[in-house]
């Protein structure tokens, strides 16, 4: 049976939440189930079984589910974290480029040709 949100103005009898037995003031879920006649229950609860917004929230908390507000906050935190990761990746890429440039420049310095050795004048006495 699929539960669905229903207009609280159009509830069937008993027009109450099956859990707290109050008339829903906010959103209400129709469970699709009915409290069957003949079952020894208080007459004021016979009929359609609804669950009010407040009871549904308590059930969700007991089961460890997130509220829409919590889910929205987590989504914002996730987007901020993804943006921060992109910023850090850009910084790492810049750092790598700086390291490459440093290595390149060191290589250029090391590859600078050494000063030529002074030519030693060899005295030549001529053929012996």
User: What residues make contact with Zn ion under the rule CB under 5 A?
Assistant: 17, 19-20, 52, 55
Q: Least Å distance between CB 19 and Zn ion?
A: 5
**Minimum distance, C-beta of residue 39 to Zn ion, in the bound complex (Å):** 20
- Compare residues 20 and 88 and give the one whose CB is closer to Zn ion: 20
Kindly tell me which of 11 and 17 has the beta carbon lying closer to Zn ion.
Answer: 17
Beta carbon of residue 78, minimum distance to Zn ion (angstroms, whole number): 32
Nearer to Zn ion, 7 or 112 (CB): 7
Angle at 13 between CA 10 and CA 17, to 5 degrees: 85
Give the Cα separation of 50 and 19 in Å (integer). 8
Report how far residue 91's alpha carbon sits from residue 99's, in angstroms, rounded to the nearest whole number: 12
Q: Which residues pair with 52 in a beta bridge?
A: 28
Residue 5 or 20: which CB sits closer to Zn ion?
Answer: 20
Spatial separation of the C-alpha atoms in residues 32 and 30, rounded to whole Å:
5
- Upstream peptide bond of 14 is cis (omega within 30 degrees of 0): yes
Least distance in angstroms from the C-beta of 3 to Zn ion: 14
């Amino acid at each position: 049976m699929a539960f669905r949100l229903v207009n609280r103005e159009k509830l069937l009898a008993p027009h109450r939440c099956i859990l707290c037995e109050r008339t829903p003031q906010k959103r209400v879920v129709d469970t699709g189930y009915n409290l069957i006649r003949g079952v020894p229950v208080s007459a004021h609860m016979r009929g359609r079984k609804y669950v009010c917004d407040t009871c549904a929230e308590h059930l969700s908390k007991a089961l460890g589910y997130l509220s829409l507000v919590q889910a929205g906050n987590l989504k914002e935190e996730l987007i901020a974290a993804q943006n921060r990761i992109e910023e850090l990746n850009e910084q790492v890429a810049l750092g790598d480029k700086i390291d490459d440039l440093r290595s390149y420049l060191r290589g250029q310095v090391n590859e600078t040709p050494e000063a030529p050795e002074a030519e030693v004048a060899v005295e030549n006495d001529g053929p012996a």
